[in-house]
Amino acid sequence: MKTTITTVGLKRLAVATLFACGIVHAQSTVPVMQPTEGDFEARDFHFQSGQTLPTVKLHYATLGTPTRGADGKVNNAVLLLHGTTGTGRAYLTPLMQKELFAAGQPLDASRYYIIMPDGIGRGGSSKPSDALRANFPRYGYNDVVEGHYRLLTEGLKVDHLRLILGTSMGGMQTWVWGERHPDMMDALMPIASQPVAMSGRNWLWRRMLIDAIRNDPDWNGGNYTRQPTHWTRTTPVFALMTQSAATLQKAAPTRDQVNQYVDKTVADSRGVDANDYLYWFESSWDYNPEPDLGMIRAPLYAVNFADDMINAVDLGVMQRTVPKVRQGKYVEMPESVNTYGHQTLQHPEVWKPYLVELLKSLPAQK
């Protein structure tokens, strides 16, 4: 195994905070914290599909410094997990830093060791576009969580976490973490997720994106010689599902502005590798934590939003599933001028009070 650590320059952060499909919300001007970035190489990585890779690179960024308890083990680590189209840098926006990591905030970087990995298939971690393209192993959420686990335990020598917090896909993986490693964390906070397998509208729109790639005339089974681009015409569907009606109306209040918005969204998506994008959405194939929710031991506080079309509150999913978690509870925040649909996850000022509540309920760090 190999771990490489570097310090990231401010320019490389590129935290312009573009929301899905180009919508940008106001950001507060605060001093930018400079994270430490590194790569860990996990040897002989076995995927649940039966495929293996001799080495999987796992990229990460950290804020803060690890502290150790009386037993010599790190006792202040926090793991933050990103969404389907993101990387660990999703947590490095000025707004996230101001609301979560600044002095006196719930995850004050002077108190906590904050770990923000890029999941397998994304960012600086191993992914199809590196070389293997369609021959890259068919990874699922369980494989991504296993990558997180090996990064923590083998690379960073962290065997316990004060908190795991994830948004969207990261929220889904937070449920998985609680089941696979129930004694490794003090608390769990999945945001904008539901602990059930993909189905109904939530799988329908993803399937549309997947099929658009597979049926692109330049796809060639994933072994294309030039990037397929026809499929990118479907990418505005992502904004349709992740943004509230009010947010989209504000971003594009006239027909001409909608046309410009669509064209820009499509143009921007052409910078994304088609294989990577396909794998991102297909990787939910193994996600179904519902049968094992009773295995979660840590206190869990799930936060969802009433105007989130991906995690529809009218299905009663949380009411049915969260009682299966012995220390579980949830909140479904009503739609308001301060919510943005699924992308409310990018606004910690909205959901931060629940994080504060969860942390205050925990016993003192050992």
What is the CATH number for 101? 3.40.50.1820
When pLDDT is averaged across residues 331-356 and rounded to a whole number, the result is 98
Write down the catalytic residue from 59, 160, 342, 347: 342
Task: Tell me, yes or no, whether 271 lies in a domain.
Answer: no
Q: What is the mean pLDDT of the chain?
A: 93
Q: Which of 8-12, 128-132, 202-206, 241-245 has the lowest mean pLDDT?
A: 8-12
CA distance 315 to 335: 16
Residue with tokens 């060791």: 113
Share of the chain above pLDDT 90, in %: 90
Please give the residue range of the domain that contains residue 82.
Answer: 2-200+282-360
- Write the DSSP symbol of residue 283: G
Token pair listed for 339: 């919510």
What is the number of domains present in the chain? 1
Cα-based angle 161, 186, 184 (whole degrees, multiple of 5):
55
What pLDDT, on a 0 to 100 scale, did the predictor assign at position 30?
58
Model confidence band, residue 16 (pLDDT cutoffs 50, 70, 90): very low
What pLDDT, on a 0 to 100 scale, did the predictor assign at position 365?
84
**314 among known catalytic residues:** no
Residue with tokens 């529809």: 312
**342 among known catalytic residues:** yes
What pLDDT, on a 0 to 100 scale, did the predictor assign at position 366?
76
Q: What per-residue string of b and e applies to 147-167 under the rule 16 or more CB within 10 Å gives b?
A: bbbbbbebbbebebbbbbbbb
What pLDDT, on a 0 to 100 scale, did the predictor assign at position 212?
98
Residues 6 or more apart in contact with residue 327 via CB below 8 angstroms:
296, 297, 298, 299, 300
* Residue 298 backbone phi and psi in degrees, to 5: -75, 150
Asked whether the predicted pLDDT for residue 7 surpasses 50, the reply is no
Q: Whole-prediction pTM value?
A: 0.92
Token pair listed for 164: 């795991």
The answer to whether 148 touches 159, Cβ cutoff 8 Å, is no
Q: How many CB atoms lie within 10 A of CB 305?
A: 28
Task: Tell me, yes or no, whether 308 lies in a domain.
Answer: yes
Task: Tell me, yes or no, whether 256 lies in a domain.
Answer: no
CA distance 234 to 260: 15
When pLDDT is averaged across residues 298-318 and rounded to a whole number, the result is 98
Task: Tell me, yes or no, whether 236 lies in a domain.
Answer: no
Task: Tell me, yes or no, whether 309 lies in a domain.
Answer: yes
Write down the catalytic residue from 125, 126, 168, 244: 168
| Sign, CA torsion 7/187/171/154 | positive
Summarize pLDDT for 131-160 with one digit per residue, the tens: 999 999 999 999 999 999 999 999 999 999
Token pair listed for 351: 């959901």
The answer to whether 13 touches 32, Cβ cutoff 8 Å, is yes
Task: Tell me, yes or no, whether 266 lies in a domain.
Answer: no
Model confidence band, residue 31 (pLDDT cutoffs 50, 70, 90): low
Model confidence band, residue 6 (pLDDT cutoffs 50, 70, 90): very low
Cα-based angle 97, 56, 88 (whole degrees, multiple of 5):
10
Asked whether the predicted pLDDT for residue 185 surpasses 90, the reply is yes
Task: Tell me, yes or no, whether 314 lies in a domain.
Answer: yes
**168 among known catalytic residues:** yes
Asked whether the predicted pLDDT for residue 215 surpasses 90, the reply is yes
The torsion region of residue 234 among left (phi > 0), alpha (psi -120 to 50) and beta comes to: alpha
Write down the catalytic residue from 39, 186, 276, 308: 308
Task: Tell me, yes or no, whether 110 lies in a domain.
Answer: yes
Asked whether the predicted pLDDT for residue 174 surpasses 60, the reply is yes
